[in-house]
Amino acid sequence: MIGTYLQGYHLYTPLEDQRVLQNLDKKMNKILNINLQKVPQHVAIIMDGNGRWAKGKGMERVFGHRNALTSIRESVEAASDIGVKAVTLYTFSTENWNRPKYEVNALMSLLVSALKNELPNFHKDNVKIGAIGDISNLPKKAQKILATVIEETKNNSKITLTFALNYGSREEIVNTIKNISKKVVNNELQIEEIDEKVINNHLYTFNLPEVDLMIRTSGEQRISNFLLWQMAYAELYFTDVLWPDFRKNDFFDAIIEYQHRERRFGKTSEQIETPNE
């Protein structure tokens, strides 16, 4: 029946098939609305709302975390499809240690099993894995699998997927200041040489491009200690969708909204419209 599309489905296909095709159209339109010349290089995501999603279904919070994996897969695939070069996912914050022990343990086991299971897919999709945060304080098992996955995917090049783990922006800044100070004390660096570039090079994100777009799901409108320095000029996008419901089209919605924003970086609108004047 779908073949009748060629003859103009509005005229020839039965009602049911028309609905299928129209939904298909709607889905395809989203990606067609994206300007591939204006795609953000680096998208950072605060994956929020797993607990509420599970609770809404009468389930334990951990059920929500388990259902977050499909959303991760879809987001990375969507990003890769349109040429985003880096995606960074807020996976476990320095503050998340304050959650019940049971939930923290479940999140750590989930991390280990997901990284193990996804490794073949990372290769298939040419995804390079990275991690930011104070990794040395994660459970040994998590550190081990992370090191393996990072090493084994280091030559992949389509997109870089970075997990923020035991990550807090303030901790990162403290760590950066310590490392820079050590170099000053050892005479490897002069105080006068410290500038934004030097600071960038000492952050966990030293090898990532600037964050262009930050997406947060679940309706919360805050940064929660994520990439404070790196987001200085990022566009912020908030959606009510809970993370386990987030799909490719939700990602494309964020990109379309991003492309409607005017990034002025302190300039006037007129300067952006006619750059040569």
Residues at the interface with Mg ion (CB under 5 A): 48
Name which position in 9, 90, 204, 252 contacts ligand IPE (CB under 6 A).
Answer: 90
Quote the least distance from Cβ 136 to Mg ion, whole Å: 25
Tell whether residue 241 is a contact of ligand IPE (CB under 6 A).
no
Question: In residues, how long is the chain?
Answer: 277
Q: Which is nearer to ligand IPE, 34 or 62 (CB)?
A: 62
- Is 94:134 a contact under the CB 8 Å cutoff? yes
Interaction pattern, residues 205-224, with ligand IPE; x per rule: CB under 6 A: -------------x-x-x-x
By annotation, the residues acting in catalysis are 48, 96
Phi, psi (degrees; rounded to nearest 5) at 204 = -60, -25
Residue 109 within binding range of ligand IPE, rule CB under 6 A: no
Is there binding between residue 93 and ligand IPE (CB under 6 A)? yes
Nearest 5°: phi and psi at 187? 65, 20
Question: In degrees, to the nearest 5, what angle opens at C-alpha 162 toward C-alphas 80 and 84?
Answer: 25
Contact between 188 and ligand IPE (CB under 6 A)?
Answer: no
Residue 41 contact among Mg ion, ligand IPE, none, beta carbon within 5 to 8 Å by kind: none
Q: Which is nearer to ligand IPE, 19 or 222 (CB)?
A: 222
91 is an interface residue for ligand IPE by CB under 6 A:
yes
| Least distance CB 237 / Mg ion (angstroms) | 17
CB closer to Mg ion out of 48 and 235: 48
Q: Which residue's C-beta sits nearest to Mg ion?
A: 48
Contact of 80 with 125, CB cutoff 8 Å: yes
Nearer to Mg ion, 61 or 128 (CB): 61
Residues in contact with ligand IPE, counted by CB under 6 A, come to a total of: 17
Minimum distance between the CB of residue 133 and ligand IPE, rounded to whole angstroms? 10
Restricted to residues 41-70, the positions that interact with ligand IPE (CB under 6 A) are: 46-52
> Concatenated DSSP letters for the chain?
-GGGGGGTHHHHS-HHHHHHHHHHHHHHHHHHT--TTS--SEEEEE---HHHHHHHTT--HHHHHHTHHHHHHHHHHHHHHHT--EEEEEEEEGGGGGS-HHHHHHHHHHHHHHHHHHHHHHHHTTEEEEEES-GGGS-HHHHHHHHHHHHHTTT--SEEEEEEEEE-HHHHHHHHHHHHHHHHHTTSS-GGG--HHHHHHHSTTTTSPPP-EEEE-TT----TTSSTTTTTT-EEEE--S-GGG--HHHHHHHHHHHHHS---TTS-HHHHHSTT-
Shortest distance, CB of residue 139 to Mg ion, whole angstroms?
21
107 binds, among ligand IPE, Mg ion, none (CB under 5 to 8 A by kind): ligand IPE
Q: Binding site for Mg(2+), residues?
A: 48, 235
User: Please, which residue, 51 or 130, has the CB nearer to ligand IPE?
Assistant: 51
Give the residues lining the site for ligand IPE (CB under 6 A): 46-52, 90-93, 96, 107, 218, 220, 222, 224
